[in-house]
Structure 1
Amino acid sequence: MELQIESTSPWMNEELVSLRDAVRRFVAGEITPHQQAWREQQHVDRALWTKAGEMGLLLADIPEVYGGAGGGFAHMAVVFEELGYAGDTAFGIHVHAIVAHYLLNQGTEEQKAKYLPRLASGEMIAAIAMSEPGAGSDLKGIRTTAVLGPDGYRVNGSKTFISNGFLADLILVVAKTDPAAGSKGVSLLLLETRDNPGFRVGRILEKVGQKGQDTCELFFDDALVPRENVLGGAEGRGFAQLMTELPYERTILGVCAVAAIERALQLTIEHTRERRAFGQALIEMQNTRFVLAEIKTEATVARIFIDRCVEDMLLGRMDTVRASMAKYWLSDLQCKVVDQCVQLFGGYGYMLEYPIAQMYVDARVQRIYGGANEIMKEIIARSL
């Protein structure tokens, strides 16, 4: 079902309205018809990346000098919203954009010139490798190492739950370059996967939801990274770089959550208008009306909050605490709202042929990735 959700966000303008129309057509033609096939094969087709690159969608908020479309965060927010309104969770453009921003804000000029145009075109697909079998939200517990030798760094270890891992050509690897230095011994390395014999992709992981998104195990056995591919050109900056860039990621997750909330609400309103029980439409029953009234109110509050977050991103004043609030509260609300909507669908809400059921299984991980919501609360609490 194609929903025509129209934005009233204060950050929208005529250019962004035109972009939304173009993205909506692109999603309807290039993504929606293939969602079931991608869920079955557990990854999107590589051709999607090059088509999106030709449209200028992959790095819409990266300067044109580096191959991007030259827009701001609002341009990417429009892309993320339209994917959310279409119910797509397969296209890993979110992670791709996050890696691009690590390069833009933390990389050397040589690194930006080398990789950003190739990411913008879709020639290269990006992933970020943080989580390990024994280290998730606590990045200080990572065990992957990178030892500098005559030919560059040799990376050893493994990563898991890596989005875009199956297709990735460029992986931003979190590794310890000085294990004795604690957080100051963590570096971010730009690892190219092609023709790298020490790199191996493990199995595509079988997830509860988001089955079209390739999420993999990665293995490094003396995988080579050139000396000049330490992000920013110097070791030991990794932890600080992560903390600086995480607000971008967490605000994206908030944008996606609100889009999902708005989609769930509209799907449920339409269903309850059509579905009849005891001689009347479900929406005519007081319980249904009250639940939908609560969801409509929460969706409106969520929209106002995320609009402020988008504006703050555009003005460069989005901080870690507010981004943590957006990530935790909006993803929690997404799961709550979708669950309530499933209930109003009744038995149909449990059938995967109905979009609301797919949204239910896709939503749950929002509270885990990007930093578990419990970690978000700890970050917020430290600001008190």
Structure 2
Amino acid sequence: MPDPVTDRQASPSDGQREQDRLILDSIDRFLEREVAPHAHALEHDDVYPADIVAAMRDLGLFGATIPEAYGGLGLRPSLYARIIERMARVWMSITGVINSHLIMAHIVATKGTEAQRAHFLPRFATGELRGGLALTEPDCGTDLQAIRTTARRDGDAYVVNGTKTWISNGIHGRCFALLVKTDPTADPRHAGMSMLIAEKGDGFRPSRKLEKLGYKGIDSAELIFEDYRVPADRLVGETEGTGMQCAGAGLELGRINVAARGVGIAQAALDQSLAYSQVRKTFGKPICQHQAIQLKLADMATRVEAARLLVDKAARTFESGRRTDLEAGMAKLFASEAAIENSLEAMRIHGGYGYSKEFDVERLYRDAPLLAIGEGTNEIQRVIIAKRLVERHPA
């Protein structure tokens, strides 16, 4: 079946391809000089990579997808996905620092008023004001309509009370796209949900850093709101009841990011397995010459290429302005599972060395499972994919 999105897209011009190459080359140099030498130690000690974050700010990565009119780089999502893949190949945690931030920026850019865009996007783009997305709560994960954080209108402000958890950039970030209930009695429940642009201040504090299996370095935190006042003009779009639409718009970009991370992890696992299998010898020859290892390498490489194509299609669909939950869901589902499978196979190929903390293979194995959970579990992705398929192809 022809793909109407792919079929109508023009091939990039020579100038655009050259510009993309220059951008990706600069990212590669940054990763080689600033990230690769330090990632192992920072991850091992779970230390926030402040110097790396500062370098990311200097590169303009906090404005990667923010329109140029507001001071951002205005990169196409397909190029942004390639950048995220490269970063994840070296250290996945640093991709989360910009992902959550750019989801917040995308919500403001697409759902906010012009006054909100003019006030916030330039500060987001420079990295002066960094933050993320605050959706998840202790008793609410995938079912966002079950959130309990409330925002009560009080004159020219909203008074917020509640708790958010597993919030990326929760400690070091200063501003968040905050999903709240402005009408807890609404039916359907999503009609009573709204999105606020919430800067830290009195009544808004992180309670603690959450310890994780992997994805270390980046700060994942609980956020506490106790009679926290937000000016009413920080209601995204200045319209109550649109919180779920705002969250959905941001998560489409977020799922492309997570899918690109999956490609990066899967590629890193393949890269390390290819290198190791050519120098490790058993029974008188490199293990890459044993059929059992060859079968693993072939499957790993195939998963990487298939995942990369799905991510690129999702990103290009997103660029076209069309609804992307089907394509982003497929990319996120397949690429995250590819990361998990490839990281496990890399550990098996490396044997005991793959289980050692002296090598990066065990980090890939610990980082990969997050991708099957973050930005919506893979189980919910399957439900979304099936629903959209039925909608698009009625009997």
Same fold (TM over 0.5): yes
- The aligned counterpart of 1:115 is 120
Identity, in percent, stands at: 34
Tell me the equivalent position of 1:29.
Answer: 33
Displacement of 1:188 in angstroms is 0.6
Residue 48 of structure 2 is matched in structure 1 by: 44
Partner of 2:102: 97
Give CA-to-partner distance per residue, 1:35-61, whole Å, 9 cap, x none: 245436645344544432332222222
The one-letter code matched in structure 2 to 1:173 is L
Letter of the 2:103 partner, please give it.
I
CA RMSD of aligned residues (A): 1.7
- Match of residue 192 from structure 2: 185
Residue 138 of structure 2 corresponds to: 133
Shift of 1:189: 0.6
Equivalent AA in structure 2 for residue 13 of structure 1: R
Indicate the SS of the match to 1:123.
coil
Question: What SS does structure 2 have at the residue aligned with 1:179?
Answer: coil
Report 1:1-384 matches (<5 A).
13-39=17-43, 42-91=46-95, 92-181=97-186, 182-193=189-200, 196-317=201-322, 319-383=324-388, 384=390
Kept after mapping to 1: 8 A contact 2:92/2:265:
no
Structure 2 counterpart SS, 1:162: strand
SS at match of 1:13: helix
Structure 2, unaligned stretches of length 5 or more?
Answer: 1-10, 391-395
Cα deviation code 1:352-378 (max 9, x no counterpart): 221111000011111011001111111
Tell me if structure 1 keeps the 8 A contact 2:262–2:336. yes
Cα deviation for residue 165 of structure 1 reads 0.4
Q: SS of 2:100's equivalent?
A: helix
CA distance in 2 between counterparts of 1:262 and 1:45 reads 23
Shift of 1:97: 1.2
CA contact (8 A) 1:19 1:78 kept: no
Distance 1:209 1:162 in 2: 15
Residues 87-96 or 235-244, more deviating? 87-96
TM-score (norm 2): 0.90
Does structure 1 conserve the Cα–Cα contact (< 8 Å) formed by 2:101 and 2:130?
Answer: yes
Deviation, 1:151, is 4.6
SS in 1 for 2:93: coil
Partner of 2:3: none
Greater than 4 Å deviation, 4+ residue runs: none
SS at match of 2:307: helix
Distance 2:327 2:23 in 1: 27
Tell me the SS of whatever aligns to 1:65.
helix
Cα distance in 2 for residues equivalent to 1:71 and 1:152:
35
Could you tell me how far apart the structure 2 residues matched to 1:109 and 1:89 are? Answer: 33
Amino acid paired to 1:54 = D
Cα separation, 1, equivalents of 2:282 and 2:81: 39
Q: Structure 1: any 5+ residue segments left out of the alignment?
A: 1-9
- CA displacement at 1:254 relative to structure 2: 1.2
Shift of residue 249, structure 1, vs aligned partner: 1.2
> 1:3 is matched with which residue?
none
Contact 1:90 1:214 in 2 (8 A): no
Task: Give aligned pairs, total.
Answer: 373
Query: For 1:189-217, what per-residue CA distance to the aligned partner results, in whole angstroms no more than 9, with x for missing partners?
Result: 11101xx1201111111100011111001
* Structure 1 residue 33 displacement after superposition: 3.0
Q: Match of 1:7?
A: none
Paired letter, 1:275 = R
Deviation at 1:81, TM superposition (A): 1.7
Residue 131 of structure 1 deviates from its aligned partner by 0.6
CA contact (8 A) 1:61 1:75 kept: no
Aligned residue in 1 for 2:4? none
Is contact 1:66–1:113 with CA below 8 Å preserved after alignment? yes
Shift of 1:379: 1.1
Once the two structures are TM-superposed, the CA of residue 85 in structure 1 deviates from its matched residue by 2.0
Check the 8 A contact 1:46/1:167 in 2, yes or no: no
Give CA deviations for 1:253-299 in whole Å, capped at 9, x if unaligned.
11111122112111101000011112111101110011111222222
Tell me, yes or no, if the aligned pair for 1:127 and 1:164 is still in contact at 8 Å: yes
Match of 2:393 in 1: none
Q: Give, as a single letter, the amino acid of the residue that structure 1 aligns with 2:19.
A: E
Instruction: Note if contact 1:50-1:121 (Cα within 8 Å) is conserved in structure 2.
Output: no
Counterpart in the other structure of 1:6: none
Distance in 2 (alpha carbons) for counterparts of 1:148 and 1:131? 22
- What secondary structure, in the 3-state scheme, does the structure 2 residue paired with 1:310 have? helix
